[in-house]
């Protein structure tokens, strides 16, 4: 159902709100794009691999310690 406006000031308020919502959505989209670029970059891969190797190495040390 469509909203009924009583005057132009109500229309202006809704237009300003919708414009702000659009701007927020655009900024969120840009942030998501930047995060994706960082995740896909080779430096992102290297840090992920380093974290995995570190965790695996610690697990192997603990395993050998308890043998």
> Residue 50 pLDDT > 70, yes or no?
yes
How far is 16 from 28, CA to CA, in rounded Å? Answer: 18
CB 31 within 8 A of CB 25: no
Which pLDDT band holds residue 14 (cuts at 50, 70, 90)? very high
Share of the chain above pLDDT 70, in %: 97
For the chain, the average pLDDT equals 87
pLDDT of the residue at 53? 81
Instruction: Please give the average per-residue pLDDT across 16-31, as a whole number.
Output: 96
For 6-57, the three-class secondary structure string (H helix, E strand, C coil) is CCHHHHHHHHHHHHHHHHHHHHHHHHHHHHHHHHHCHHHHHHHHHHHHHHHH
- Say how far apart CA 37 and CA 50 lie, in whole Å: 19
- What pLDDT, on a 0 to 100 scale, did the predictor assign at position 40? 77
Share of the chain above pLDDT 90, in %: 45
């Amino acid at each position: 159902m469509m909203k009924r406006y009583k005057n132009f000031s109500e229309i202006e308020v809704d237009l300003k709100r919708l414009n702000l919502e659009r701007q927020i959505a655009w900024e969120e989209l840009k942030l998501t794009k930047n995060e994706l670029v960082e995740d896909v970059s080779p430096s992102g891969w290297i840090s992920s691999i380093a974290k995995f190797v570190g965790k695996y190495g610690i697990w192997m040390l603990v395993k050998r310690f308890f043998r």
